[in-house]
């Protein structure tokens, strides 16, 4: 925006232009700062169109000062400083590779960061500095949103949370909020919000996977990410770690099991895993080792048990916990064999003893 152009608009008696000029005068020191002048050099669209609006000599001087400051703060050599300045002049004067029509056309359509990243081999030293300037955020909105999320999670009543737990809760809260496209509520109470964290009408767990109809794309994806129908080494350690220890064990386990279908052939019962919960009593045997741990919550599957689901008063009546053990994997493999959805199974390796 050019102050002279604003004055011309004011002379044409544009109603709101007086307010625009007063706002421009207020923010003029920031808009015309030395960093802003240097960053103007990296505007490849004005460079390609020969439509530079500001004072080119002032902006060039500001860029040279920025190059010197960068070299000093990053302990660059004098040779780097000379090559960076030479690269800037080569770029501004459209010399060498920058004189080609194809390069100029790319400058008209590419963003500054993409442009200098593409042609960094021609002027590597200057491109390094230009990409840093082109990557500077124009506002503090992202930082402000992060501060709001921190304030929401880390209240006076919840000030004993560890930094790791705070970051985990911020990530979960902001991810679910953005997924639901919900605005931040200044009057919301963190304790009340997290009490209803797992209620489906309020939040959606990122780990939940809906059972979609089979498709060729889905088959290809599942073939690349086969389901391991056995307890893997990484999950064996997580099964007995509760969330009270600031661990994300439940969330990690949910990425594997959420949405998985099980079939008990003896009872002709079909269930889909909709959640994980902490057991109320200690569980004997492998892999729990007489400790409490995470168990799967299987819900009766629509299409197979419609009558039972319709007669149930609430979701708890059609849900049942299942230990993560060999019996559960047998039911999962049975469901996959019945082709309820295209799942590729990987079973545990068997020692060569003649037995399977």
Would 22 be classed as within a structural domain? no
Say what the pLDDT of residue 235 is.
87
Would 2 be classed as within a structural domain? no
The helix (H) or strand (E) run that includes residue 278 is: strand 269-278
- The whole-angstrom separation of Cα 47 and Cα 91 is 9
pLDDT tier, 199 (very low <50, low <70, confident <90, very high otherwise):
very low
- The whole-angstrom separation of Cα 67 and Cα 73 is 10
Would 15 be classed as within a structural domain? no
Would 233 be classed as within a structural domain? yes
* Single residue among 87, 116, 134 that ends a domain in this structure: 134
Would 10 be classed as within a structural domain? no
pLDDT tier, 74 (very low <50, low <70, confident <90, very high otherwise):
confident
Q: 191 and 223: one domain?
A: no
pLDDT exceeds 80 at position 214: no
Q: 129 and 148: one domain?
A: no
Q: 64 and 186: one domain?
A: no
Q: 107: buried, middle or exposed (CB in 10 Å: 19+, 13-18, 0-12)? A: buried
Say what the pLDDT of residue 353 is.
45
Q: Report which of 331, 349, 348, 327 is spatially closest to residue 340, judged by C-alpha positions.
A: 331
- The whole-angstrom separation of Cα 221 and Cα 255 is 15
Kindly report the number of other CB atoms within 10 A of residue 248's CB atom.
16
pTM: 0.38
Greater confidence (171 vs 341) lies with 171
Q: 246: buried, middle or exposed (CB in 10 Å: 19+, 13-18, 0-12)? A: middle
| Tens-digit pLDDT profile for residues 29-56 | 555 678 888 888 888 888 988 887 778 8
Tell how far CA 216 is from the center of its chain. Answer: 27
Maximum distance among all alpha carbons in the chain?
A: 96
Q: Tokens 């007669």 map to which residue?
A: 311
Say what the pLDDT of residue 137 is.
62
Say what the pLDDT of residue 194 is.
47
Please give the structure tokens belonging to residue 356. 């399977």
Q: 273 and 178: one domain?
A: no
| Tens-digit pLDDT profile for residues 215-263 | 555 455 545 567 888 888 888 888 888 877 656 788 888 888 888 889 8
pLDDT exceeds 50 at position 24: yes
- The whole-angstrom separation of Cα 348 and Cα 338 is 20
Say what the pLDDT of residue 90 is.
92
pLDDT exceeds 80 at position 108: yes
Say what the pLDDT of residue 209 is.
47
DSSP character string of 307-351 = HHHHH-SSGGGGEEEE-SSHHHHHHHHHHHHTTSS---EEPPP--
Say what the pLDDT of residue 166 is.
85
Q: 270 and 299: one domain?
A: yes
Residue 141 has φ and ψ, to the nearest 5°, of -60, -40
Residue 204 has φ and ψ, to the nearest 5°, of -125, 125
* Single residue among 84, 116, 134 that ends a domain in this structure: 134
Q: What is the DSSP letter of 214?
A: P
Say what the pLDDT of residue 88 is.
92
* Single residue among 87, 103, 134 that ends a domain in this structure: 134
| SS3 (DSSP) at 297 | strand
Would 96 be classed as within a structural domain? yes
Q: 120 and 157: one domain?
A: no
Would 296 be classed as within a structural domain? yes
Range with the poorest average pLDDT among 18-22, 125-129, 290-294: 18-22
Q: 253 and 179: one domain?
A: no
Q: 224 and 340: one domain?
A: yes
Domain extent for 56: 32-134
Residue 40 · residue 61 · CB < 8 Å:
no
Please give the structure tokens belonging to residue 91. 């770029």
Would 205 be classed as within a structural domain? no
| SS3 (DSSP) at 223 | helix
Q: 233 and 319: one domain?
A: yes
- The whole-angstrom separation of Cα 20 and Cα 13 is 13
Q: 87 and 175: one domain?
A: no
Q: 221 and 340: one domain?
A: yes
What's the domain count of the chain? 3
Say what the pLDDT of residue 58 is.
86
Please give the structure tokens belonging to residue 270. 């079909």
Q: Span 1-23, mean pLDDT?
A: 54
Q: 38 and 123: one domain?
A: yes
pLDDT exceeds 70 at position 203: no
Q: 102: buried, middle or exposed (CB in 10 Å: 19+, 13-18, 0-12)? A: exposed
């Amino acid at each position: 925006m050019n102050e002279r152009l604003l004055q011309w608009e004011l002379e044409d008696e544009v109603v709101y232009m007086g307010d625009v000029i007063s706002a421009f005068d207020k923010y003029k020191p920031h808009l015309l700062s030395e960093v802003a002048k240097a960053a103007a050099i990296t505007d490849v669209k004005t460079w390609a169109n020969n439509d530079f609006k500001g004072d080119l000599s002032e902006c060039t001087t500001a860029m040279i000062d920025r190059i010197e400051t960068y070299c000093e703060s990053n302990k660059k050599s004098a040779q780097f400083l000379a090559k960076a300045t030479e690269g800037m002049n080569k770029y501004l004067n459209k010399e060498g590779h920058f004189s080609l029509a194809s390069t100029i056309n790319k400058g008209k359509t590419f963003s500054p960061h993409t442009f200098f990243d593409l042609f960094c081999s021609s002027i590597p030293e200057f491109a390094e500095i230009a990409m840093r300037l082109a990557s500077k955020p124009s506002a503090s909105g992202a930082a402000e949103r992060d501060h709001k999320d921190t304030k929401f999670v880390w209240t006076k009543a919840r000030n004993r949370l560890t930094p790791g737990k705070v970051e985990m809760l911020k990530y979960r809260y902001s991810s679910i909020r953005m997924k639901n496209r919900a605005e931040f509520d200044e009057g919301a109470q963190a304790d009340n919000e997290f009490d209803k964290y797992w209620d489906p009408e309020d939040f959606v767990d990122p780990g939940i996977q809906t059972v979609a109809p089979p498709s060729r794309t889905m088959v290809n994806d599942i073939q690349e990410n086969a389901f391991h129908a056995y307890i893997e080494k990484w999950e064996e350690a997580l099964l007995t770690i509760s969330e009270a220890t600031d661990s994300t064990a439940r969330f990690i386990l949910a990425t594997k099991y959420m949405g998985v279908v099980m079939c008990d052939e003896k009872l002709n019962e079909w269930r889909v895993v909709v959640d994980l919960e902490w057991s109320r009593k200690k569980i004997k045997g492998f892999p729990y080792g007489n400790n409490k741990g995470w168990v799967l919550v299987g819900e009766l599957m629509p299409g197979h048990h419609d009558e039972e689901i319709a007669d149930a008063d609430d979701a708890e009546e059609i849900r049942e916990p299942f230990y993560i053990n060999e019996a559960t994997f047998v039911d999962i493999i049975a469901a996959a064999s019945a082709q309820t959805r295209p799942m590729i199974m990987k079973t545990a390796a068997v020692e060569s003893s003649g037995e399977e």
